[in-house]
């Protein structure tokens, strides 16, 4: 009796290549995050999607918090680059335009990447203080906002006010608008979600007008 040909076992699809396991795990975690939110992210599932054994990731990410922190670090770098590109797109001699471009970049990035924004913004599922880069990148964005405010006040483009309070105002407004969009609050204020971005940009324009000195 002839032997039955052995059925070939299907190969598990893998995104892992030698020397880049950490990156493959982060890419898997990002896909889970964007598709289903932070609650769906876990180390074992990231390993399965990367095509490695369940125990392999733990030398890179000892916990779910560590994995989400790594995802947040990558997201924060992209966010910071988006902010820098927006601010660099206008003249350095025009502080109001620089601040407006920064605010728009902040909100647009959050609207395009709502789950990544949620992880960075809430921080309850990441180790923000223990990360070597998250605070540094966040502080760099804050320093940019403050430098624009101080420059604008020195030029007479912005009204005299405590720069710390103006910075806090700008952060609260940008964060609040982005969070309202991500959490679906705009329809409650008579703004369909499809028109939310236009409304956000008008609010940011109003903020710029309020910063100008009264004559």
Q: Would you call 11 helix, strand, or coil by DSSP?
A: coil
Q: Is the pLDDT of residue 18 over 50?
A: no
Q: Which domains does the chain have, with CATH numbers?
A: 18-62 (1.10.10), 66-211 (1.10.357.10)
Q: How confident is the model at residue 57, as a pLDDT?
A: 64
Tell me the per-residue pLDDT of 65-118, one tens digit each, with 9 for 90 and over: 999 999 999 999 999 999 999 988 999 999 999 999 999 999 999 999 999 999
Q: How far is CA 64 from CA 12, 45, 207, in A?
A: 23, 11, 39
Q: How confident is the model at residue 108, as a pLDDT?
A: 92
The tokens of 215 are what? 């004559």
Q: Which residues, other chains included, contact 79 with Cβ-Cβ below 8 Å and sequence gap of 6+? A: 106, 109, 116, 117, 120, 137, 141
Q: Which of 154, 141, 135 is nearest to 87 (CA)?
A: 141
Q: Is the pLDDT of residue 8 over 60?
A: no
Classify the C-alpha dihedral 55-57-58-59 as positive or negative: positive
Q: How confident is the model at residue 45, as a pLDDT?
A: 86
Q: How confident is the model at residue 7, as a pLDDT?
A: 39
Q: How confident is the model at residue 178, as a pLDDT?
A: 94
| Model confidence band, residue 122 (pLDDT cutoffs 50, 70, 90) | confident
Q: How confident is the model at residue 150, as a pLDDT?
A: 96
Q: How confident is the model at residue 65, as a pLDDT?
A: 94
DSSP track, 53-100: -TTGGGGT-SSHHHHHHHHHHHHHHHHHHHHHHHHHTS-TT-HHHHHH
Instruction: Please give the mean pLDDT across all residues of the chain.
Output: 87
Tell me the per-residue pLDDT of 131-180, one tens digit each, with 9 for 90 and over: 989 999 999 999 999 999 999 999 999 999 999 999 999 999 999 999 99
| Model confidence band, residue 47 (pLDDT cutoffs 50, 70, 90) | confident
Phi, psi of 9 (to 5 degrees): -80, 130
């Amino acid at each position: 009796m002839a032997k039955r040909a052995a059925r070939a076992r299907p190969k598990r699809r893998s995104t892992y290549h030698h020397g880049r396991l950490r990156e493959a795990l982060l890419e898997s975690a990002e896909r889970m995050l964007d598709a289903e939110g932070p609650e769906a992210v876990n180390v074992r599932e990231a390993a399965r999607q990367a095509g490695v054994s369940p125990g392999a990731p733990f030398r890179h990410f000892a916990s779910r918090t560590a994995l989400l922190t790594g995802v947040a670090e990558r997201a924060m770098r992209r966010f910071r680059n988006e902010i820098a590109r927006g601010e660099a797109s206008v003249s350095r001699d025009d502080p109001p335009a620089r601040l407006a471009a920064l605010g728009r970049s902040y909100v647009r990035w959050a609207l395009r990447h709502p789950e990544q924004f949620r992880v960075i913004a809430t921080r309850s599922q990441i180790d923000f203080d223990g990360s070597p880069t998250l605070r540094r990148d966040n502080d760099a964005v804050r320093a940019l906002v403050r430098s624009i405010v101080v420059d604008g006040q020195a030029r007479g483009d912005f009204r005299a006010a405590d720069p710390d309070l103006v910075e806090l105002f700008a952060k609260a407004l940008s964060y609040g608008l982005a969070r309202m969009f991500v959490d679906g609050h705009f329809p409650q204020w008579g703004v369909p979600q499809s028109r939310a971005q236009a409304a956000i940009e008008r609010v940011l324009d109003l903020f710029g007008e309020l910063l100008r000195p009264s004559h």
